[in-house]
Amino acid sequence: LDSLVRKLGLEDKVQFVGKVPHKELPDWYRASSLVVNPSLSESFGISIVEGMACGAPVVGTRVGGMLETIVDGHTGRLVEAERPDLLADAVLSLLNNPSMAAEMGRHGRERAVENFSWAARADRLISAYRLVCN
């Protein structure tokens, strides 16, 4: 991948940073133009939710948990798995439209806080316990 990046002249656009300590992830997400997860199978897609929580627009494939986290056209874009052409189109559409990307990032953050934060999860768990105990 390093040689491909050099061949395409993308050294100023693409970085492979290796393992990043968990506490530094929010800074990386906030510094990113978008978060992309082109997974072929995904139980949840934590990178997508983490990116959304940091206000980044997201692009993911229509698999597993990403179908539950990304609201296509609102918090980011969903594309068919194994379709690099569609993935590239979605990425370029966000990179070429910063205002739309910023709006999706804002909506994504709202969705992440409302649905995937520890407080939201705790509220759902308490509601489930109340339902069962009643």
pLDDT, tens only, 19-40: 999 999 999 999 999 999 999 9
What is the pTM assigned to this prediction?
0.85
Q: Looking at beta carbons, which pairs linking 40-49 to residues 24 or more positions away fall under 8 Å?
A: 40/81, 40/82, 42/66, 44/69, 45/69, 48/76, 49/112, 49/116
**107-119: average pLDDT:** 93
Residue 85 has a pLDDT of 97
- φ, ψ for residue 25, nearest 5 deg: -55, -45
For 1-13, the pLDDT digits (tens) are 999 999 999 999 8
pLDDT of 42 > 90? The answer is no
pLDDT tens digits for range 68-82: 999 999 999 999 999
